[in-house]
């Protein structure tokens, strides 16, 4: 009897494994997050921006100075032009969706009429100035640029109205608060985050991190909170009421995080990194919900949600723009025909469902870097503990 029982147990285990593998393959086949790609740029796509009214229209600017208008439903480029000699650093669209504003390294700002792109654009040139980023004001015809100093421009007269600066460091990124548009945050080359208030006409606060930051995104619901993508492969969330310490740290990425975008509900956000992966997070959880990657995709330079927020766009260093699904369907909500048959077989055999760990299909290079990162984090903790023990009582810690 014992030999018979062993034989039946072995067969049951084999059936469980087969069932589990067949379900996983079926799920992966149906839930392909990659939708389509848009190719046409000769060099890496530095920046993307979506139209605030038209859900199918978006724009892209590359490192070779070319700007393109795209239609997502037709999967084609409507219009392209290259007015810049240098790489494009930023793109924005005004709140009415009428004009596209772009900036470049050589100190030029150009505005195009979106409805009539063949018209001659307005061009403004500043000597000895480099513009790293540009952002439109949410309520009104104004926009801000970041370079050696922060400039607040009038869109109608096309001249700077305010000049704000703190120190000699150059500004790499700018973003307005969606609920309080007079509050403005900027990232600088000296590893600092500076907050400005346009009503006071002076900077409010300055914070330093261990490494430089690449991108910043405000929470549209909790307007006092914002998220920062850092060079140390971490994402930090801060609250304006207490800026001494980060509220949460998201540590799933392996290489520097280049771009970040938060949804309109303020519950989830997506981030793109130099490790060629995109990760979806919940604000409450520090671990990522989902990972998006392809074999040919290189480091991700910019990321944006589409208007419905079920899809998002990524631009990478290989010159391609890719469209992805935000969230796969939850399989607990419904059952596939294969799952129904498997349940019936389980009931006949009278054994519990097979439980196995969740498998994340990642490339080997990322897995190896993840192990290395864990080792480095443990080393840092041990060094800090040793330093604390060696400090004499009475000295500053």
Q: Is the pLDDT of residue 230 over 60?
A: yes
Question: What is the band of 271 on the pLDDT scale with cuts at 50, 70, 90?
Answer: very high
Degrees to nearest 5, angle at CA 324 with 319 and 329: 165
Give the chain's end-to-end CA distance (angstroms, integer): 70
Percent of the residues in the chain that have a pLDDT greater than 90, as a whole number: 28
State CA 170 to chain mean position distance.
22
Q: What is the pTM of this model?
A: 0.80
User: Which one is predicted more confidently, 276 or 357?
Assistant: 276
User: Which one is predicted more confidently, 335 or 24?
Assistant: 24
State CA 52 to chain mean position distance.
18
Nearest C-alpha neighbor of 166 from the set 119, 205, 109? 205
Which structure tokens are listed for 377?
């984090």
Question: What is the band of 377 on the pLDDT scale with cuts at 50, 70, 90?
Answer: confident
Q: Is the pLDDT of residue 210 over 60?
A: yes
Assess contact for 263 and 218: CB atoms under 8 A.
Answer: no
Question: What is the band of 305 on the pLDDT scale with cuts at 50, 70, 90?
Answer: very high
Q: In what order do the strands lie in the sheet with 45-50?
A: 45-50, 57-62, 67-71, 76-81
Q: Which residue has the tokens 């839930």?
A: 31
Residue 331, C-beta contacts closer than 8 angstroms, at least 6 positions apart = 27
């Amino acid at each position: 009897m014992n030999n018979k029982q062993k034989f039946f147990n072995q067969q049951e285990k084999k059936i469980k494994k087969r069932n589990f593998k067949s379900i996983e393959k079926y799920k992966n086949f149906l839930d392909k997050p990659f939708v389509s790609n848009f190719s046409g740029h000769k060099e890496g796509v530095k920046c993307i921006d979506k139209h605030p009214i038209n859900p199918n229209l978006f724009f892209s600017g590359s490192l070779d100075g070319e700007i393109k208008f795209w239609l997502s439903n037709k999967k084609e480029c409507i219009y392209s032009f290259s007015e810049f000699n240098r790489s494009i650093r930023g793109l924005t669209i005004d709140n009415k969706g009428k004009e596209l504003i772009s900036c470049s390294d050589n100190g030029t700002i150009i505005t195009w009429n979106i409805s009539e792109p063949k018209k001659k654009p307005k061009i403004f040139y500043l000597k000895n100035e480099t513009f790293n980023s540009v952002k439109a004001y949410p309520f009104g015809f104004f926009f801000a640029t970041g370079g050696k100093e922060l400039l607040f421009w009038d869109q109608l007269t096309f001249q700077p109205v305010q000049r704000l600066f703190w120190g000699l460091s150059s500004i790499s990124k700018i973003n307005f608060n969606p609920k309080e548009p007079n509050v403005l945050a900027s990232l600088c080359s000296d590893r600092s985050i500076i907050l400005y208030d346009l009503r006071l006409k002076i900077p409010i606060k300055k914070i330093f991190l261990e490494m430089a930051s690449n991108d910043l995104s405000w929470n549209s619901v909790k307007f006092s909170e914002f998220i920062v993508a850092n060079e140390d492969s971490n994402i930090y969330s801060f609250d304006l009421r207490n800026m001494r310490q980060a509220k949460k740290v998201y540590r799933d990425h392996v290489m520097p995080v280049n771009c970040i975008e938060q949804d309109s509900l303020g519950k989830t956000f997506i981030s793109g990194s130099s490790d060629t992966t995109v990760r979806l997070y919940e604000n409450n959880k520090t671990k990522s919900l989902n990972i998006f990657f392809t074999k040919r995709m290189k480091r991700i330079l910019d990321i944006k949600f589409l208007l419905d927020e079920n899809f998002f766009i990524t631009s990478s260093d290989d010159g391609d723009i890719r469209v992805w699904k935000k969230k796969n369907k939850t399989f607990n909500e419904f059952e596939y025909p294969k799952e129904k048959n498997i349940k019936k077989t389980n009931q006949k055999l009278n054994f519990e469902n097979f439980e196995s760990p969740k498998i994340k299909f990642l490339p080997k290079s990322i897995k190896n870097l993840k192990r290395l990162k864990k080792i480095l984090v443990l080393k840092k903790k041990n060094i800090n503990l040793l330093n604390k023990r060696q400090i004499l009582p009475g000295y500053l810690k």
